[in-house]
Chains A and B, each alone.
Chain A
């Protein structure tokens, strides 16, 4: 049995179903992210693992023990909040020691543990300060240290970086991952930021409206999204209307031009089929054995490393990303271009 399992877990608030038939198995030491738009039930699921909400139905087990109805202070689960939630009346050292004091750890051992945690988050110098004297990023590191100090069985983080500015966010997410790997701690990380989830997770659970849409490794989620929601939510995606779909031979028409695609048997095709392709799979100019579409540049955005084109293919607009090259002149709006891509890079849904 997996280390942490959720079996048929549902949560209903009045007449909203926040989480519906949630099933997940998390292995020991794994880093799993819950990814989805706001209101899809990520926090509620996390709070049921923490014990702050009781499931309407279903079972949650941790390390073989049924913890579904266990009170939160008996679970030995670490929690990090978006708002840091440091105790304002206690020093940084006392904050980290809070859980240890509750556990009646001897003073000397406790001080050692506090120092150890402070060094893990690189804030040794701030032990005797108060939370309000630290920056947001520093406070969140302390909150992380406080949650980890008690050696929790699982670490739960609910959008821990949402309140921080972009630069700190980028720094801290790598640090969270580093610490998680160093300590080998099983972690559930809630976020609505797909880039964050892709970067730091072993596996991602994509959710929408209380349901799991897909569970998988970041590259699986990105390259093989199991449905339109996942494909759209994770990364950029062109969804282009097509006609005359021939699944047998993997052919269809896009604005009158033929496109070949690789069809995965069993994939559900909707009533109004569309060709799905990521902007970065596209290239300017033709190539051996590639699909080629003639069109006209509508706009060209220079983003530094990347150039983003919007191309009009006979009335269908697609967006294409290219790496910038110093020697190449940028296409201008109105230019006639050929956009090409290999058949295995696109799919029909």
Chain B
């Protein structure tokens, strides 16, 4: 017993150090912008940089559109597949996994090639480029948005609930908004925050389509040019991501402690 707990503690400590040490040293480094003393100077510089706020706002906005688009697209689709096309589930799941194996760089080159000529001239206008960026992120977020919603659907008896609602006189709108979506609240919210975290930090697609307008490329540029600010940015981004993850944790915990029936309320 004692031996076992000694070894497990050792591994926990090694793991924690492996994870925390770089973080701590980055944080420490970010405080040394002023020679000879510890200060938040690097942070002040970041927060007073208008580009920080501009890129952050841009990426947040794109993230919101991405979330909206992917939920509107995926939730009804996943529902319909569970209800009427269960045989297709394997195929759809495979397709939803493709973004995992196709590198973003491949996608972005393909997208630029396809959508910069006839018949689609998306990259010719700013708006078109934003549309392309958003759809790119929809593709990028597909694996976990689909997964998360599909898991949410698995927790409820989609077929019986739909039929129960139908026999009570409900049409498709009522079924979706009163029965299905409310029970997917947790799945939708948690995948939204995950999408948010990913879109804000994304580099590859953003840098090819919009450059340093987006937060990811901005971060990378700072990293190349400004030593201390890049560390403080890393810490800021890290905290931001953690905040989103914390929200997801909170949401999903509320769900499991409530009931076994996905009683989202």
Where the two chains meet, the residues of A that have a C-beta atom closer than 8 Å to any C-beta of B are 50-52, 71-79, 81, 83, 85-89, 98-99, 102-103, 130-133, 143, 146-147, 150, 152, 156
B161 pairs with A87, CB closer than 8 A: yes
Say if the beta carbon of B28 comes within 8 Å of chain A. Answer: no
B165 pairs with A98, CB closer than 8 A: yes
A52 pairs with B163, CB closer than 8 A: yes
Which B residues lie within 8 Å of A146 (CB)?
164, 168
B164 pairs with A73, CB closer than 8 A: no
3 nearest A-B residue pairs (beta carbon):
A99-B168, A85-B160, A132-B259
Say if the beta carbon of B183 comes within 8 Å of chain A. Answer: yes
* Complex alpha-carbon distance, A156 and B163, angstroms: 12
- Chain B residue at smallest Cβ distance from A94: B178
B166 pairs with A73, CB closer than 8 A: yes
Known: A87-B179, A89-B182, A89-B265. A98 touches B170 (CB 8 A): yes
B163 pairs with A132, CB closer than 8 A: no
B163: contacting residue among A72, A102, A150, CB under 8 A: A72
CB distance from B1 to the nearest CB of A (A): 38
* Complex alpha-carbon distance, A71 and B177, angstroms: 20
* Complex alpha-carbon distance, A50 and B265, angstroms: 30
CB distance from B158 to the nearest CB of A (A): 10
Say if the beta carbon of B156 comes within 8 Å of chain A. Answer: yes
* Complex alpha-carbon distance, A286 and B262, angstroms: 65
28 pairs from A and B in contact (CB 8 Å cutoff)? A51-B167, A52-B163, A52-B166, A72-B163, A73-B167, A73-B168, A78-B167, A79-B164, A83-B157, A88-B156, A88-B259, A88-B263, A88-B264, A98-B170, A99-B168, A102-B168, A130-B265, A131-B261, A132-B260, A132-B261, A132-B263, A133-B259, A146-B164, A146-B168, A147-B168, A150-B168, A150-B169, A152-B167
* CB-CB contacts below 8 Å: B163-216 with A: 163-171, 174, 178-179, 182-183, 185
- Chain A residue at smallest Cβ distance from B183: A89
CB distance from B187 to the nearest CB of A (A): 13
B174 pairs with A88, CB closer than 8 A: no
B163 pairs with A88, CB closer than 8 A: no
Which one of B164, B165, B178 has the highest number of Cβ atoms from chain A below 10 Å of its Cβ? B164
A73 pairs with B261, CB closer than 8 A: no
Which A residues lie within 8 Å of B157 (CB)?
83, 85
- Chain B residue at smallest Cβ distance from A143: B164
* Complex alpha-carbon distance, A83 and B157, angstroms: 8
B261 pairs with A85, CB closer than 8 A: no
Which one of B161, B168, B182 has the highest number of Cβ atoms from chain A below 10 Å of its Cβ? B168
Which one of A52, A73, A78 has the highest number of Cβ atoms from chain B below 10 Å of its Cβ? A73
* Complex alpha-carbon distance, A183 and B221, angstroms: 75
Given A72-B163, A132-B258; 5 other pairs, CB 8 A cutoff = A50-B167, A73-B166, A87-B164, A87-B178, A132-B261
